[in-house]
Amino acid sequence: MATTVNKATYNKAVNTSPFYAVQLRKFATYGLVTMFAVLFLLVYLSPLANMFMVAIRSQEQLSQTADSSIFPMGAKKYEYKGKQLPIFKVEIDGVTRELAQVSATRRSSVFIDPANPEAGEITWEGNWRTLEPVQVMEAHFENFAEAWELINFPRLMGNTLFIAVTGMIGTLLSCICVAYAFARFPIPGKNLMFIILLGTIILPGQVTLIPTYAFFASIKWTGTWLPLIVPHFFANAYNVFLLRQYFLTLPRELDEAAMIDGAGPFRILLNVIIPQSWAAIISVGVFHFVWSWNDFFGPLIYLLGQKELQPVSVGIQVFNFQYGQRPDLIQATSLMAMAIPVIIFFLAQRVFMRGVVITGVEK
Amino acid sequence: MTTSTATSANIGPESRLTILQRQRRWGWVFLSPWIFGFFVFTFFPMIASFVFSFTNFRIGEPIQLLSDNPACVAEFGSLRCLFGNWEKMFTDPVTSNALGVTLRFMLIAAPISILFPLGMASLLNSKFLLGKPILRVLFYMPFMVPAISGVFIWQSYLNGQTGYLNRILRLLGITEPPNWLFDSAYMHTAFVLIGLWGVGNAMLTMLASMQGVPTELYEAARVDGATGPVVFWKITLPMISPVILYNLVLSLVGLMQYFIVPYVMSNTTRSDPSANFINLHLYRTGFAFGDMGFASAQAWLIFIVALAFTVGIFATSRRWVYYASGG
């Protein structure tokens, strides 16, 4: 430590330029790396900009060509004597002005200056079709309202919320119990069972798909929400793993103290384990909610043709296959479907990302 | 329940159990949801789908082993008939093409599913980066976009005329950028691009693992005169190799089940055979055509291929994965 201080003082006292050159290079590196990261991020997220700009276009703006502006543009208008007048770039006496066209013939046009209407009407000689119209950004937010109505978004959202929240309750109840068993009880064969549990993470779902579907069909559960909810009451590997890892970090002394005070295992779980584990429990809840919101395959096969019961994911897909000619509405529904999970992520990003790290790194 | 463990040692039938036995019983009680779920939703269905793969199973029709079909047995013998669905997977051109498409796509998609998040994680781990917390959140964010929204968003982004990607490419001087989704030659590249929004978890776990590398290692390397790339290759990569292994396995198994992108894209790529991935083909076989016996055989094929990849990776992992515990 002492030597570095000496070196710095030495540099400052004798020759300042190397010291500042080093600092400068450091700042330049900071600037370059950060600038690269931001640029990269902008490109990475640019599909979102594309989505938004398509979502707010009118039909006419959608037919604009590839070299048109990336923003939805429309002709600039000026209201004069109760009429919407188009604005053109007009050159008068060598000065280009933006004027609103009041009336026109092939040879001449009458304009008015929107910046100074009191000056009266201006007559301009020449064919107005040679003039360049003035463009301004013209967003059509009404597309969102139209899409909202057409797909009956409140109903889709209600369905999704019901499926996600009931499934979340099931996941929490079952995974907490199972994780508690794995973390605290001396069950014979526990390690083997834990390995089997982890193995199910990499088991492709297809291999159980058809019998499970046939089973639900035979008990008349297809066409209802039950196949999307009930299986979550039987725990799943990711969330059990996350909760078990968390429970293992809690001191056993508290359990033992509660046991000596006469608490049974349920009481210990409720009064000792759960109150210490809210961070992990919340992240499991958020995981399941987001997973369920995004789930597509389950609702696709179990709710086939049941328009009234479909959640957002399947609902917007069915809609978009019908409205393939309305890219504006397709992008509007895509934005609506992603809004809730993305907002939840921003609100809970700390717990969420820590949960991902625990399940992903600690294997 | 209310009597304490200390006093209940000699009273009642329940108390004759030792504390250990009682703890075991409670353990099974708490474990029971998973055990029940494992058998009902994983183990039995797995066995059943294997059995179904030798049948002509269709929902609502009587199920029959393929070797119970006299016409078939008379011609080919009962054993060959029994394996009819399995044989069809390799003789039916559409099915074998679907498997080929999936494996060829994996060949490009799997390396990118590791290298792209690895690059992002290294960038976010750079000591010269300002605003790391916010950048990390924003780089992870696309992972939160539902797959279904993501596909529609990218479909518009990859539009040959007005999509932003081709506008960017034209700005960079590429006068005739490809029409991504309508050109068979570029379709898989387009699918890989869409997949770039799905690397959030891999990126985050790699980043966390990089941050967990002990700084002493880096300091020692600097003292020995190692430079940036060497440090990355000799220290960072080996130290995070367990996470790379985990993500590679998940990525390969996930790619065998690739479904949403080709399914949703089928409104534009409808009849293109290079968009017919094995899992999409399984869905069409089982649910559009109702041939659940054949679909079960395909499901087992997916399972066997995925298992082979997993076993292969774990078998070679000793050579390239570093475990700190020395195990």
Model confidence over B120-131: pLDDT tens digits? Answer: 999 999 989 999
pLDDT digits (tens, 9 = 90+) for B173-231: 888 889 888 888 899 999 999 999 999 999 999 999 999 888 888 888 888 888 888 88
How many residue pairs bridge chain A and chain B with CB atoms within 8 Å of each other?
286
Confidence band, pLDDT 50/70/90 cuts, at residue B5: very low
Question: What is the reported pLDDT for A140?
Answer: 83
Q: Residue A111 is inside which H or E element, if any?
A: strand A108-112
Query: Is there a contact between B64 and B56 (Cβ–Cβ < 8 Å)?
Result: yes
Domain B92-320, CATH homologous superfamily name and number: MetI-like (1.10.3720.10)
Pairing of strands A95-104, A83-92: antiparallel
Residues of chain A positioned with their CB less than 8 A from the CB of B258? none
* Backbone torsions φ then ψ of A132, nearest 5 degrees: -95, 125
Cross-chain residue pair A341–B145, CB shorter than 8 Å: yes
Q: What share of chain A has pLDDT > 90, as a percent? A: 52
Residues of chain B positioned with their CB less than 8 A from the CB of A210? 45, 48-49, 52, 57, 286, 292, 295-296, 299
CA distance B202 to chain A (A): 8
Residues of chain B positioned with their CB less than 8 A from the CB of A331? 152-153, 156
Query: Is there a contact between A87 and A78 (Cβ–Cβ < 8 Å)?
Result: yes
CATH architecture, domain A144-361: Orthogonal Bundle (1.10)
Confidence band, pLDDT 50/70/90 cuts, at residue B327: very low
Query: Is the predicted pLDDT of residue B31 greater than 50, yes or no?
Result: yes
SS3 B228: helix
Q: How far apart are CA A12 and CA A280, in angstroms?
A: 52
Q: Which of A69, A190, A234 to mutate to test the interface with B (most CBs of B within 10 A)?
A: A234
Cross-chain residue pair A200–B156, CB shorter than 8 Å: no
Query: Is there a contact between B97 and B300 (Cβ–Cβ < 8 Å)?
Result: no
Residue at B150: amino acid letter: G
Query: Is there a contact between A216 and A227 (Cβ–Cβ < 8 Å)?
Result: yes
Question: What is the reported pLDDT for B13?
Answer: 52
Average pLDDT of the residues in B268-282:
85
pLDDT digits (tens, 9 = 90+) for A51-96: 998 888 887 777 766 666 777 777 777 777 778 888 888 877 777 8
Query: Is there a contact between A316 and A337 (Cβ–Cβ < 8 Å)?
Result: yes
Put simply, whether B129 touches A (Cβ < 8 Å) is yes
Confidence band, pLDDT 50/70/90 cuts, at residue A118: confident
Question: Across the strands, what pairs with A111?
Answer: A101, A122
Average pLDDT of the residues in A99-112:
81
Q: How far apart are CA B99 and CA B306, in angstroms?
A: 12
Q: How far apart are CA B209 and CA B243, in angstroms?
A: 7
Question: What is the reported pLDDT for B202?
Answer: 93
Question: What is the reported pLDDT for A23?
Answer: 85
C-alpha A150, offset from chain centre: 22
Cross-chain residue pair B149–A316, CB shorter than 8 Å: yes
Query: Is the predicted pLDDT of residue A105 greater than 50, yes or no?
Result: yes
Average pLDDT of the residues in B275-291:
93
Q: What share of chain A has pLDDT > 70, as a percent? A: 93
pTM of the predicted model, to two decimals?
0.86
Please name the residues in contact with A241: beta carbons below 8 A apart, sequence gap of 6 or more. Answer: A179, A197, A198, A359
Q: How far apart are CA A341 and CA A352, in angstroms?
A: 12
Query: Is the predicted pLDDT of residue A282 greater than 70, yes or no?
Result: yes
Query: Is there a contact between B257 and A206 (Cβ–Cβ < 8 Å)?
Result: yes
Cross-chain residue pair A185–B24, CB shorter than 8 Å: yes
Domain ranges of chain B: 8-44, 92-320
HSE toward the beta carbon, residue B224, CA cutoff 13 A: 12
**Average pLDDT score, chain A:** 86
Q: How far apart are CA A232 and CA A219, in angstroms?
A: 18
Q: Nearest-CA neighbor of A296 among B257, B33, B114, B97? A: B257
CA distances (Å), origin A97, targets A100, A106, A116, A133, A218: 10, 20, 11, 12, 76
pLDDT digits (tens, 9 = 90+) for A9-41: 444 445 556 677 888 888 899 999 999 999 999
Confidence band, pLDDT 50/70/90 cuts, at residue A213: very high
Question: Across the strands, what pairs with A167?
Answer: none
Query: Is the predicted pLDDT of residue B171 greater than 70, yes or no?
Result: yes
Put simply, whether B126 touches A (Cβ < 8 Å) is yes
